[in-house]
Amino acid sequence: MEIKWEGVMPAVTTKFTEEGQLDLLMFEKNIKAQIDAGVSGIILGGTLGEASTLTKEEKEVLINVSLKIAEGKIPVIVNIAEQATSEAVALAKRAEELGVNGLMLLPPMRYKATDHETVVYFKEIAQSTSLPIMIYNNPIDYKIEVTLEMFDELVKLENIQAVKESTRDISNVTRIKNRFGDRLKVLCGVDTLALESLVTGGDGWVAGLVVAYPAETVAIYKLVKAGRIDEAVAIYRWFMPLLELDISPQLVQNIKLAEVATGLGTENVRLPRLPLQGVERERVLSIIDVAMKSRPILPDYKNI
């Protein structure tokens, strides 16, 4: 399946039972809701998916289940954030064997690589697979920035096709487009900058709160691309207090509470994470409660 690297792509949460096992029933319910809302693909095993706590066997289960649910309607993309290049290459190869449609690559983990080391790392993975690839550029959280000069080298490989732009510098969308045009698709990776990114030429949105509010997220994307900016802004303003829950070290717990509110998940997380407690829990629940009481009526965005 060809990936167009556009539209809304949820970085989906991993669902767990109270006993800490994979909750595949709730996972299926959520993925089906994403597909019904009109997302353009799903991304497994990102930060929001608690990938660092998943075993190789669990990752394979999630891949197989997702491919079965998707039924070829949308691409299934797997995030790679391994400790060693050899492990990253092995996962890329295994994902391709299982039928995954694309990959998202984080830079080397637990080591602040140089620019050269980072480029070589990405190239080693890309050359090990025929799958299309999106580079995750998030220097705020992962301390490594993929610069334009680094992308000059990376785009020499045909299967490196997109960037998840999370520098939080909104002008970087324009810089990338000026440098690479459509050769490098740009997907916003920061929920609170999504509308701005799309208006300035971004191709898509790798979203977090979409896992709880898929229709609202896709509606914003569709309205912006149709030039109906005022309608998109109105939904976006309602959405902003929720979107801010994504830019927090506790984004997983925050967003899982939102999933509970919309019936698309539970708040079960995997240790060392714990559910929110005390004042912070009440603050997040209050934000969600206000949003639920004022949830907007959406236009017929699917037919735009």
In the chain the first and final C-alpha atoms are separated, in Å, by 24
Q: Examine the pLDDT at 1 and tell me if it is beyond 90.
A: no
**Tens of pLDDT, residues 108-147:** 987 889 999 999 999 999 999 999 999 999 999 889 999 9
Contact 270, 53 (CB under 8 A): yes
User: Phi, psi (5° rounding) for residue 168?
Assistant: 70, 15
Q: How far is CA 175 from CA 6, 70, 95, 186, 201, in A?
A: 18, 34, 32, 11, 10
Q: What is the CATH number of domain 7-303?
A: 3.20.20.70
In whole angstroms, give the CA distance from residue 125 to residue 247: 28
pTM to 2 decimals?
0.96
**Tens of pLDDT, residues 249-299:** 999 999 999 999 999 999 999 999 999 999 999 999 999 999 999 999 999
In whole angstroms, give the CA distance from residue 267 to residue 264: 10
